[in-house]
């Protein structure tokens, strides 16, 4: 069974790039006689808004998409992410990071051999950690690449299949010691996405090229959590007339504004190369 998903975050209105991504996944599921799942990635309560979630349903319905209900909303499943986090912690794969964003940036800039490109840290000495915990200082949980490499005997066996490209060696070091639980919301993107793709039985992850590096990190999490690895297809990003990719800030190109200007879904589908 072919199962794919479109997993937007309700932090803004959808634009043409999202329409392309959603249609690519939806049409792939249809062609394969498979299932298409819509997932709302709303763990970031500070940036997600109910009106953007409503807008996602309206935009996708307007485009002619249908999806299974009930829709999984990540904010309703924090227990699942906590369970995965607890498992990684018991396995000694995480450490608490009390640094602020600025301290992380400073640590990276002052690393020996030139600046670090991604953050690599280590646990604090126990007494220092206890002092900060007792003082109630907030912390994030980071994945320790060193601990992960020890557990797996290196990353040499980690690979994933990119459709059209074949087997790709995963390089989780591209992401560094990623945050798996943010200070503010208690979970973070890579963990939630990896857990959900497995729980929802996703066989094909179809998403934009901007998330290609994320796959290297998520492949590692699959190995550490004993989860299956889907096939991946990272499609090229749609660009506007200026050659730049669409972003949520380009208001004129939101699907809502295209709808309001009277564009028909058939026209947009055609412009995006469908039908």
Q: Are 89 and 141 in contact (CB under 8 A)?
A: yes
What SS3 class is residue 232?
A: strand
Q: Nearest distance from residue 41's CB to ligand GLU, in Å? A: 4
Interface residue with ligand GLU among 4, 9, 24, 229 (CB under 6 A) is: 9
CA dist., res. 98 & res. 137, Å (int): 7
Residues binding ligand GLU: number (CB under 6 A)? 7
Match 């369970």 to its residue by tokens.
Answer: 83
> Which residues 149-208 are close enough to bind ligand GLU by CB under 6 A?
193, 207
CA dist., res. 130 & res. 45, Å (int): 29
Give kind and range of the element (H or E) at residue 230.
none
> Which residues 81-140 are close enough to bind ligand GLU by CB under 6 A?
none
CB atoms within 10 A of CB 214: 19
Interface residue with ligand GLU among 78, 108, 174, 211 (CB under 6 A) is: 211
Query: Residue 182 contacts by C-beta under 8 Å, 6 or more apart in sequence?
Result: 140, 188
Q: Which is nearer to ligand GLU, 56 or 147 (CB)?
A: 56
Q: Which is nearer to ligand GLU, 181 or 193 (CB)?
A: 193
CA dist., res. 178 & res. 189, Å (int): 10
Strand partners, 206: 233
7 touches ligand GLU (CB under 6 A): yes
Q: Which is nearer to ligand GLU, 95 or 229 (CB)?
A: 229
Q: Nearest distance from residue 8's CB to ligand GLU, in Å? A: 5
Binding map of ligand GLU across residues 18-57, x = CB under 6 A, - = no contact: -----------------------x----------------
Nearest to 151 by CA among 191, 65, 91: 91
Q: Nearest distance from residue 63's CB to ligand GLU, in Å? A: 17
Length of the chain: 275
Active site residue 248: yes
227 touches ligand GLU (CB under 6 A): no
Annotated catalytic residues are 248
Where do contacts with ligand GLU occur on this chain (CB under 6 A)? 7-9, 41, 193, 207, 211
């Amino acid at each position: 069974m072919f199962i794919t998903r479109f997993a937007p975050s309700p932090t803004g209105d959808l634009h043409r790039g999202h329409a392309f991504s959603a249609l690519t996944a939806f049409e792939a599921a249809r062609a394969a006689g498979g299932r298409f799942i819509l997932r709302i990635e709303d763990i970031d309560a500070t940036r997600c808004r109910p009106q953007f979630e409503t807008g996602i349903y309206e935009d996708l319905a307007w485009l002619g998409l249908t999806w299974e209900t009930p829709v999984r909303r990540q904010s309703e499943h924090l227990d699942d992410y906590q369970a995965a986090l607890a498992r990684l912690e018991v396995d000694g794969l995480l450490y608490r990071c009390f640094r602020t964003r600025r301290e992380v940036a400073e640590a990276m800039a002052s690393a020996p051999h030139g600046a670090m490109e991604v953050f690599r840290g280590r646990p604090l000495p126990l007494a220092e950690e206890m002092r900060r915990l007792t003082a109630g200082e907030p912390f994030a949980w980071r994945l320790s690449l060193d601990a992960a490499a020890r557990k797996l005997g290196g990353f040499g066996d980690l690979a994933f299949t990119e459709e059209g490209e074949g087997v790709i060696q995963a390089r989780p070091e591209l992401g560094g010691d990623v945050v798996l639980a943010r200070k503010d919301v208690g979970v973070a993107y890579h963990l939630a996405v990896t857990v959900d793709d497995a729980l929802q039985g996703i066989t094909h992850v179809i998403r934009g090229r901007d998330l290609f590096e994320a796959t290297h990190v998520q492949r590692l999490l699959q190995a550490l959590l004993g989860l299956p690895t889907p096939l991946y297809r990272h499609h090229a990003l749609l660009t506007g007339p200026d050659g730049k990719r669409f972003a949520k800030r380009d208001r004129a190109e939101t699907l809502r504004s295209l709808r309001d200007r009277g564009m028909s879904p058939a026209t947009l589908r055609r412009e995006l190369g469908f039908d």
